[in-house]
Structure formats: C-alpha cells, structure tokens
C-alpha cells in the first residue's frame, strides 16, 4: 500500500504509539496515509478505537513477523 509518512513505534507501549500517531497525523494533510509499525499487542485494539474516536480511517491492520502494521488515512 502506498503511504506518505511512516511512524516507527516499535518498542513503545500504550499510550505512546497512539500519541505519536496523533502527532504525526496532525502534521499531515487530509487524505494522506500514515504507515505505523508497532510491537505492542494492545495497539491493535488501540488503533481501532482511535480510528472510531477521531474519524481517521484505519485502512488496514496486519501482523508481519510479530510486528503490527497499520495504515491510517488522515480525515
């Protein structure tokens, strides 16, 4: 998937991946896509909830080699 910016949240635990994601999205324009790579298993539910609360679209969520990869579109 194409993306405009990447956020490396590996090694960070809740709530840091979400906080860093929010900061990154604020620096982006509407429609741009942020790729997030995290290692915290709780981040799967966290990013789903964050998407619903903020209106930023969670395009995909997958696990690759025990890392969680998310693609989020800026509202």
Structure tokens, 9: 């949240």
Q: pLDDT value at position 61?
A: 97
Task: Give the whole-number percent of the chain exceeding pLDDT 90.
Answer: 100
pLDDT tens-digit map of 21-55: 999 999 999 999 999 999 999 999 999 999 999 99
Sheet holding 33-38, edge to edge: 5-9, 33-38, 67-73, 57-64
Query: pTM above the 0.85 mark?
Result: yes
Give the separation between CA 4 and CA 40, rounded to whole angstroms: 23
Residue count of the chain: 75
Give the separation between CA 71 and CA 51, rounded to whole angstroms: 11
Residues annotated as catalytic (active site), given as ranges? 14
| β-pair type (57-64, 67-73) | antiparallel
What number does CATH give the domain 5-73? 3.30.110.40
Question: Chain-wide mean pLDDT for the chain?
Answer: 97
For the chain, domain boundaries:
5-73
């Amino acid at each position: 998937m194409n993306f405009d910016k990447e956020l490396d949240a590996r090694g960070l635990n809740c709530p840091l991946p979400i906080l860093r994601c929010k900061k990154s999205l604020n620096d982006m324009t509407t429609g741009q896509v942020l790729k997030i790579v995290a290692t915290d298993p709780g981040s799967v539910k966290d990013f789903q909830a964050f998407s619903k609360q903020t209106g930023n679209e969670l395009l995909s969520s997958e696990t690759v080699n025990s890392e969680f990869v998310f693609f989020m579109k800026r509202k």
